[in-house]
Structure 1
Amino acid sequence: MDWGRIFLVFTDILLPLAAGYFLKVHTLMPRRFCDWLIRFNVIVMVTVLTLMSFWVLPLSAQLLWLPLIGVLITAVPGIIGAKLFAGGFDNDLDRGAYVISAMLSNIGTIGGLCAFIMYGEAGFAYVQLVAAPQNILMVAAAFPMAKYYYEKHKAAEKKAKLQLSFREMFITWNQIGILGMAAGIALQMCGIERPPILGVLFHNLVHILAWVSLLPVGYLIDFSRAGLYYRRVTSMLWLRFVIVPVIFYAGFRLLFTDQVLLGSLLIMAATPAAINSVITAQLYKLNVDLTIASFLLTTVVFVLVVFPVFFFYIHFGGRL
């Protein structure tokens, strides 16, 4: 394992977040360019990298479990958050924001980068298999949950139902990365070898992906308003970094023996809250500042404490 890879946590996670915030504060980047970066990341970067990583991923029957794990990694934290912690908030807008932050984690971006740092392309590809259902689950699970809490808060008022067609839910450009996954698997099954130059390109594109993904996130952050909620969301640290990893680790050990797969899955089980929780809260008029506080707090603790501890444990020969 290359020790220099640990510094990618700072250059590819913290630095783009800081750069995005700097660009916003000094009005050096318009909001429309931020929105364009988000779309470019989801439609182009994720698709290309997914295709290239799945082209060389060793296929096995065990991999069929990973999409199901992707569903459970969203559902289980949401249920635990709703049952154990959300009741401590005063109103349903706060409760809904907390539950959404518990459900949606930053598997695809931060999880993918950290798995790549630990295990190379195989780790990145495993993450994408688990992350594949995330966009669908955001629409099919997180959106209805957010609407439930909003409607519960506004019980005295009559509100129209959410109107989403099947196409809007499941067939959008945001899901095109799944086609990249399918194309990579098809190339491998056909026995077509990936040219070595694409391996070099892949390693460079991972760093570009991190910047394209996280720079817009930094741009969206408002520290002053989020600061009011840090203490109120400290339970998210227990949920994200203790309760959920322990629950899933027990199941992972029963299903898998491969240390690379186990390590990649454990990283995913402990990823911080996702910026998509902020987008969901904005859409359904929940407490946006609470979701931002959850995202910032869990991301900082993950980058500065959780992942470095895991990195050095594995580096010095620890087994899962």
Structure 2
Amino acid sequence: MSRLIFILVVTAGSVILGYGIRVAIMRLFGAAPDALHDISKRGKQFAFLLLFPFSICISFWKLAPPHGPLLMLPVLGAAGTIAGAFAAWLMIRIFGTPPRQAGSLFVCGMSSNFGILGGFVCFVLLGDDGFYASQLFNAFVPIMFFAFGFPLSGMIGRGQRGFPRLDSSLLKDFASAAVPLGAMVLGTLLSTLDLPVPTIAMRLSDFAIPATSGILGLAIGATLYLSSIHRYFQEIGLVLVVKMLAIPLVVVPLAMVSGLDSVMGGVPMTAAVLLSFMPVAFVATIPPAIYGFDLDLANACWLVSTAVFVVLFPVATWVVP
């Protein structure tokens, strides 16, 4: 129960606190100052480009390089991402979603919070092995999203057909997405060299994992604007079907036949099941801002899917030994 409360406080509590700070500032000054947005942006950069990669590096340094069934985890993450993208695209076609909303629905279906939220949940419930498994699961996902998800969403959002082209303006974001992958490579190299992990680094890593989620929650809440969610009931419902049904239906059976239950005490198997139910990642709000399709819809899908995950999360803890 204490682990569950800790997760809920860090994930939901940080967003609520950040939102409360923004509301208080608006009541005092009549509008949220630009400085608040700047602080929020710097907080996201600090968490994503420093704290998060540091935790990943130490995790891979502490444990042996992945081998055997563990090598299936990146495949499962890629399969879940493809399943989310395909299911979202299929629903767009079936329901005739207008292009501007279709682009947002597509990225929300494709992008799941495997890395940061998933890593935090797996760390708290399953320990270092769980965090390690979550990052292996997420290894290829950022590259897939920036290399394919962005241009595909742009094409769908503009109602275009044909082969998508990678927008040169995405190269900076693509480089940022490669930072966690670089941290994995560095950690694996240090593990291979059999160098001891400094005690202080391990302690800092244990702090950095929840701190990453907390800082991102504060930063997101501080710039969160609650849109008219009722306008997007159908689209939000479709995204929830993708997250709670389509992706698990692909990932869980594959995990069950991958042999993951035979390694590390079955922790990778449990992690894969938990990760298959992750909500929309906040990165899904970036393509709508870049390409000009429905940002309010992306924000609403992120907010509602995360809220649903938080509400249903106690049920998910039943799979944890």
**Alpha-carbon offset, residue 290 of structure 1:** 1.2
Q: Aligned match of 1:53 in 47, 50, 59?
A: 59
In 2, Cα distance between the equivalents of 1:200 and 1:213? 21
Aligned match of 1:184: 187
Q: Say whether the 8 Å CA contact 1:9–1:303 is kept in structure 2.
A: no
Aligned match of 2:19: 21
Aligned match of 2:9: 11
Q: Say whether the 8 Å CA contact 1:227–1:293 is kept in structure 2.
A: no
Q: Say whether the 8 Å CA contact 2:101–2:157 is kept in structure 1.
A: no
Matched AA of 1:93: R
Aligned match of 2:168: 164
1:66-115 CA deviation, whole Å, 9 max, x = no partner? Answer: 33333222111110121135532541111221111000011111111111
Most deviating of 11-20 and 69-78: 69-78
1:5-47 CA deviation, whole Å, 9 max, x = no partner? Answer: 1112222100111122122223376111111111112211111
Matched AA of 1:62: P
In 2, Cα distance between the equivalents of 1:278 and 1:89? 22
**Alpha-carbon offset, residue 174 of structure 1:** 4.0
In 2, Cα distance between the equivalents of 1:87 and 1:48? 43
Q: Say whether the 8 Å CA contact 1:92–1:152 is kept in structure 2.
A: yes
In 2, Cα distance between the equivalents of 1:231 and 1:165? 32
Superposition pairs for residues 55-204 of structure 1, below 5 Å? 55-59=61-65, 60-84=67-91, 87-152=94-159, 163-164=167-168, 168=172, 170=174, 172-204=175-207
1:280 aligns with 2:287: yes
In 1, Cα distance between the equivalents of 2:24 and 2:233? 25
Q: Say whether the 8 Å CA contact 2:151–2:167 is kept in structure 1.
A: no
1:30 aligns with 2:36: yes
**Alpha-carbon offset, residue 144 of structure 1:** 0.9
Taking structure 1 as the reference length, the TM-score comes to 0.87
Cα 1:231–1:24 change in 2 (3 A) is farther
1:309 aligns with 2:315: yes
Q: Aligned match of 1:39 in 34, 45, 57?
A: 45
In 1, Cα distance between the equivalents of 2:294 and 2:120? 29
In 1, Cα distance between the equivalents of 2:223 and 2:169? 29
1:136-193 CA deviation, whole Å, 9 max, x = no partner? Answer: 222211111121123317x9xxxxx7641896575x2442222221221122112222
In 2, Cα distance between the equivalents of 1:224 and 1:35? 20
**Alpha-carbon offset, residue 241 of structure 1:** 1.3
Most deviating of 211-220 and 43-52: 211-220
Count of residue correspondences: 305
Q: Say whether the 8 Å CA contact 1:229–1:289 is kept in structure 2.
A: no
1:49-70 CA deviation, whole Å, 9 max, x = no partner? Answer: 0111111224323232233333
Q: Say whether the 8 Å CA contact 2:104–2:297 is kept in structure 1.
A: yes
Most deviating of 36-45 and 232-241: 232-241
In 2, Cα distance between the equivalents of 1:89 and 1:20? 37
Aligned match of 2:231: 228
Structure 2 unaligned spans of 5+:
26-31
